[in-house]
């Protein structure tokens, strides 16, 4: 069909004599042109597909989102989209509402009494603060890694199998497979494969944090929330976690809150800067750190803040 | 300068804390030491042959052959005691002598009837015999040796009388002669005193050596055996050798206790030799042996805890305590979980919390009455159970009693579980219930176990709540939850209020109390080991 179109176009453009005389040669050319066009189109399609995935529907989207602890404001008027299969960093000074925002994505903030929200927080197209939201499903979709490594006082295996077991998976072989996958996904498998029965609390801090990541991966979430995952770790463990984040972003949408701006620059594609409960600037990481459009952002990233 | 002051205050603080710890230990030793010392005597003591007899009869312990040879040996030594007493008694016991003379008179009358004599003759002999009897009676009752001699001589002149020779009446004369011989050395004015003292002596000897060999076995088990313990025997010996009297030495002064030697009291009489004999042959009579009576902890006891051990009491206490724990553990944990995890901070919950705190301070006797009114009279009959004191009602009452302690401890434990744990679990898609069951409660378990230990100690020692709801002083082991049981706490209470018995078996009372302390200690140790294990598991050991 495409080859025919091209022929038609040429026929409209050129004279018929030439066409007839060059018919033979054209016949040959037509073959090659058609091939290259198909190749080009295919490539274009692939790019378009990837673009689609990256840009079209944000997995997490906040619209005029506000969160209040009683009468105290946590965050307000946040509008931002988190792109799928990328790492989004949230930076900002202490008490600016980074964690509050992160923790409202999977509604873990519900534990605190007297909270109130406004606006919309969409995860995969559903408002999580809708009355009908199934919290169990939501939290299985949105995994979370906390500031302090907080493995349960159980064996390594039981820690990772905790989530799948809640989903009703009780077959030993299936669990074993999930645990292995998750631990491999969290780059911990090689270190602990020989003693999965050991208590998780016997691991080192970095290992514990990776175990927590593995535990979060075991429920097969779409989104992974990380609340300052490296703040309790030494630089080596931090490096390992950052490598892991880099690896994970191929399959998961990651939102990471961090105090460490270098870390944000290293691991994230996009960065949001929060200040006093408001979103100041949200752009690609390179732009935020090299050429921020707001004065406040510039002050913060260059260390002149306050 | 400042540094010196700081050092001094540091040292002073160290000294203060050290002293307080030493004081605490001392107080503990002062309180517990004597109790444990006396309680240990229930298990480790010097027994006597009577104890071994009792063990063989009641519990079938020991070799009967060995014991029989021992008993035979002791019997020979003891026989002398009874002989001396009997001899002395003839001269001293007016009433017995009068009774005997009356008996002889009656027997003689019966004999005469079948002799085939005329009624005239019968009347004559009969009146003569009556005369002899009255004369003897006069002699027995008199304190004047002159009158006695007169009467006895009067009686003895009929010794060769044809009517009386080879008849029952001949005993009149032996009686008269014996009496005369006995009173020769006795101050007759003291006869009443002697009689009273002799009665005491006989009672002590009965307590020491048990019933006389030829007497039938008494109905009460506690009267079948003499002193089973050497310490008791030594006390009784003292009572035998020395009489105590409260005497006012001067007018207007308080009475003072004075010990009199009984040997001096009976000086010159036939009984005098008794005291020396018993004192010298005391070992041979009772054959003391050192004994470790570990069966104390498994033996049943005779009524009044006079002999035997505390086996049923231990079992009953364990049963009640563990049952109460069984009730209080889930109830307490669930209530605590509700208060921490589910209840919002409103007026109703505050009132509930206040009630729980108040309940913890309510006197235990109130719980006892509550148990009686609620469980026995209402709750158990509601489900068709019998309306009487039973193990179930007692353990339920104990559970109610200790519920506040349990709730408060569990509440604290659950509250102190880090929020991060709960968040981690919730973040993985766990419901609140599964978070509570799978994460919060296991993490709070050491604290909850601490609450359990506190409850356990309180429950095991409580007396008042089970007073009306399921404890008995005597009775078999409970066969079902609807039977009453014996317990250590109630047992020691019972001994203490059992007036006379408490004096007789102090080792039993202390033994029971010390057993209770040991039992609680063991239960606590078990719970603490369990808690340590859980704790180590939680900490990743």
Residues 6+ apart with CB under 8 A from B379: B393, B396
B341 and B485 part of one domain: yes
Q: Do A139 and B431 touch (CB under 8 A)?
A: no
Show the beta-strand stretches assigned E in B267-306.
Answer: 289-292
Same domain, B289 and B423: no
For residues B204 and B156, membership in a common domain is answered with no
Residue B4 covered by a domain: no
CA B179 to chain centre: 44
Asked if A120 contacts A129 with a C-beta cutoff of 8 angstroms, the reply is yes
| Domain around B363 | 311-538
The total of other beta-carbon atoms located within 10 Å of residue A187's CB is 17
Whether B461 and B368 share a structural domain: yes
Note whether A192 and A257 are same-domain residues.
Answer: yes
Which one of B413, B427, B538 makes the best mutation probe of the A interface by having the most chain A beta carbons within 10 Å? B427
Round to whole Å and give the CA distance between B482 and A220: 55
Residues B363 and B461 in one domain: yes
Strand A115-123 to A126-127 pairing: antiparallel
Same domain, B98 and B126: yes
Residue B337 located in a structural domain: yes
Q: Residue A105 falls within a domain, yes or no?
A: yes
Q: How far is B533 from chain A (nearest CA, A)?
A: 13
Q: Minimal CA–CA distance to B285: which of B53, B69, B64, B79? A: B79
ipTM at complex level: 0.74
Domain membership flag for residue B29: no
Residue A70 lies in a domain: no
Does residue B366 share a domain with residue B506?
Answer: yes
* B393 and B488 fall within a common domain: yes
In angstroms, how far is CA B121 from the centroid of its own chain? 64
Are residue B378 and residue B343 in the same domain, yes or no? yes
Give the count of domains, chain A: 2
Question: Average pLDDT in the A248-274 region?
Answer: 87
Which of B145, B168, B188 represents a domain boundary (last residue)? B188
DSSP class of A54: I
**CB-count burial class (<10 Å; 0-12, 13-18, 19+) for B91:** buried
Identify the sign of the CA torsion B133, B137, B140, B145.
negative
Domain annotation covers residue B431: yes
Are residues B58 and B114 located together in one domain of the fold? Answer: no
Token code pair at residue B195: 């009689």
Does one domain contain both B148 and B99?
A: yes
Residue A194 sits in a domain of what CATH number?
Answer: 3.40.50.300
Sign of CA dihedral B259, B263, B267, B269: positive
Q: What is the pLDDT along chain B (541 residues), one digit of tens a residue?
A: 788 999 999 999 999 999 999 999 999 999 889 889 988 888 888 888 888 888 888 888 888 888 888 888 888 888 888 888 887 776 666 777 788 888 888 888 888 777 777 788 888 888 888 888 888 788 777 777 778 788 878 877 877 777 777 777 777 787 777 777 777 766 666 777 777 888 888 888 888 888 887 778 888 877 888 888 888 888 888 888 888 888 887 888 888 888 888 888 777 777 778 888 888 888 888 888 888 988 888 888 887 778 888 889 999 999 999 999 999 999 999 999 998 888 777 888 889 889 988 988 899 999 999 999 999 999 988 888 888 889 999 999 999 999 999 999 999 999 998 888 888 888 888 888 888 988 899 889 888 988 888 888 889 888 999 988 988 888 888 888 899 999 999 988 888 887 676 677 888 888 889 999 999 999 889 888 988 988 887 776 5
Total number of domains in chain B: 3
Domain span at A30: 2-49
CATH of the domain at B435: 1.10.3720.10
Find the helix or strand (DSSP H, E) in which A225 lies: strand A223-227
Structure token pair of residue B412: 């604290």
Who among A139, A148, A202 is closest to B427 (CB)?
Answer: A139
For chain B, list residues whose CB is within 8 angstroms of any CB belonging to chain A: 344-345, 418-431, 434, 438-439, 442-443, 537-541
pTM: 0.74
With beta carbons under 8 A apart, name residues in chain B contacting A137.
429
**For residue A216, which residues of chain B lie inside 8 Å, CB to CB?**
427-428
Nearest CA in chain A to B341: A111
Q: Does A171 share its domain with A293?
A: yes
- Residue A31 and residue A88 share a domain: no
pLDDT tens digits along A108-128 = 888 787 888 888 888 888 888
- Beta strands in B324-388, from DSSP E residues, in sequence order: none
CB-CB: which of B344, B423, B442 is closest to A153?
A: B442
Residues B424, A215: C-beta atoms closer than 8 Å: yes
Q: Are residues A32 and A141 both part of a single domain?
A: no
Structural domain contains residue B302:
no
Which residues in chain A are closer than 8 Å to B434, comparing Cβ atoms? 166
């Amino acid at each position: 069909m495409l080859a025919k179109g091209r022929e038609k176009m040429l026929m409209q453009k050129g004279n018929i004599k030439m066409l007839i005389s060059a018919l033979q040669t054209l016949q040959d050319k037509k073959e090659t042109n058609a091939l290259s066009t198909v190749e080009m189109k295919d490539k274009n399609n692939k790019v378009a597909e990837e673009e689609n995935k990256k840009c079209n529907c944000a997995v997490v989207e906040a619209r005029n989102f506000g969160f209040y602890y009683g009468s105290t404001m946590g965050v307000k008027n946040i509008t931002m989209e988190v792109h799928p299969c990328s790492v989004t960093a949230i930076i900002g000074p202490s008490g600016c509402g980074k964690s509050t925002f992160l923790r409202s994505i999977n509604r873990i903030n519900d534990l605190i009494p007297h909270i109130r929200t406004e606006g919309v927080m969409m995860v995969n197209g559903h408002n999580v603060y809708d009355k009908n939201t199934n919290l169990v499903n939501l939290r299985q979709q949105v995994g979370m890694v906390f500031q302090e490594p907080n493995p349960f006082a159980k064996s390594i295996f039981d820690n990772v199998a905790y989530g799948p077991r809640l989903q009703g998976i009780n077959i030993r072989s299936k669990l074993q497979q999930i645990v292995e996958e998750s631990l491999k996904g969290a780059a911990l498998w090689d270190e602990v494969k020989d003693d999965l029965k050991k208590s998780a609390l016997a691991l080192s801090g970095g290992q514990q944090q990776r175990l927590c990541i593995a535990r979060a991966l075991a429920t097969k979430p779409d989104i992974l929330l990380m609340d300052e995952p490296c703040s309790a770790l030494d630089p080596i463990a931090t490096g390992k976690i950052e490598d892991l984040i880099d690896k994970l972003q191929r399959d998961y949408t990651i939102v990471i809150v961090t105090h460490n701006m270098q870390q944000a620059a290293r691991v994230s594609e996009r960065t949001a800067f929060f200040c006093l409960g408001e979103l100041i600037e949200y752009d690609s990481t390179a732009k935020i750190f090299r050429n921020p459009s707001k004065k406040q952002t510039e002050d913060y990233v260059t260390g002149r803040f306050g | 300068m400042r540094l010196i002051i700081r050092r001094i205050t540091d040292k002073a603080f160290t000294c203060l804390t050290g002293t307080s710890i030493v004081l605490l230990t001392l107080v503990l030793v002062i309180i517990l030491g004597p109790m444990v010392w006396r309680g240990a005597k229930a298990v480790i003591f010097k027994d006597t042959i009577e104890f071994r007899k009792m063990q063989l009869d009641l519990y079938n312990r020991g070799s009967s052959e060995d014991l029989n040879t021992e008993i035979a040996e002791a019997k020979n030594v003891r026989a002398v005691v009874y002989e001396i007493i009997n001899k002395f008694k003839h001269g001293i016991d007016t009433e017995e002598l009068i009774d005997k003379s009356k008996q002889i008179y009656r027997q003689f009358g019966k004999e005469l009837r079948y002799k085939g004599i005329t009624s005239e003759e019968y009347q004559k002999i009969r009146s003569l015999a009556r005369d002899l009897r009255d004369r003897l009676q006069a002699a027995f009752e008199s304190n004047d040796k002159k009158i006695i001699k007169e009467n006895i001589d009067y009686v003895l002149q009929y010794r060769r009388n044809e009517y009386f020779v080879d008849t029952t009446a001949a005993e009149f004369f032996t009686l008269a002669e014996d009496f005369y011989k006995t009173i020769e050395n006795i101050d007759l004015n003291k006869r009443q005193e002697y009689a009273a003292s002799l009665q005491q002596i006989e009672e002590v000897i009965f307590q020491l050596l048990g019933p006389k060999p030829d007497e039938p076995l008494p109905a009460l088990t506690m009267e079948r055996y003499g002193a089973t313990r050497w310490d008791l025997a030594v006390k009784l010996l003292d009572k035998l050798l020395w009489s105590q009297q409260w005497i006012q030495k001067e007018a207007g002064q308080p009475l003072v206790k004075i010990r009199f030697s009984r040997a001096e009291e009976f000086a010159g009489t036939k009984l005098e030799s008794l005291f020396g004999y018993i004192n010298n042959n005391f070992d041979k009579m009772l054959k003391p042996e050192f004994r470790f009576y570990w069966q104390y902890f498994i033996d049943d006891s005779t009524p009044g805890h006079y002999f035997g051990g505390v086996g049923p009491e231990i079992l009953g206490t364990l049963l009640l305590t563990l049952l109460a724990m069984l009730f209080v553990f889930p109830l307490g944990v669930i209530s605590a979980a509700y208060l921490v995890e589910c209840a919002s901070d409103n007026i109703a919950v505050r009132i509930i919390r206040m009630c729980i705190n108040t309940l913890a301070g309510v006197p235990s006797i109130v719980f006892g009455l509550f148990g009686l009114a609620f469980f026995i009279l209402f709750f158990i009959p509601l489900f068709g159970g019998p309306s009487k004191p039973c193990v179930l009602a007692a353990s339920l009452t104990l559970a109610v009693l200790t519920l506040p302690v349990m709730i408060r401890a569990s509440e604290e434990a659950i509250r102190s579980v880090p929020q991060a744990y709960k968040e981690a679990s919730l973040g993985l898609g766990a419901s609140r219930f599964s978070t509570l069951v799978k994460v919060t409660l296991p993490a709070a378990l050491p604290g909850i176990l601490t609450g359990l230990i506190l409850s356990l100690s309180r429950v095991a020692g409580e007396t008042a709540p089970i007073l009306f709801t399921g404890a008995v002083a005597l009775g078999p082991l409970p066969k079902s939850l609807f039977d009453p049981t014996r317990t250590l706490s109630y047992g020691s209470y019972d001994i203490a209020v059992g007036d006379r018995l408490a004096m007789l078996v102090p080792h039993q009372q202390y033994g029971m109390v010390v057993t209770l302390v040991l039992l609680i200690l063991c239960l606590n140790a078990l719970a603490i080991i369990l808690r340590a294990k859980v704790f180590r598991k939680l900490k990743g050991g």
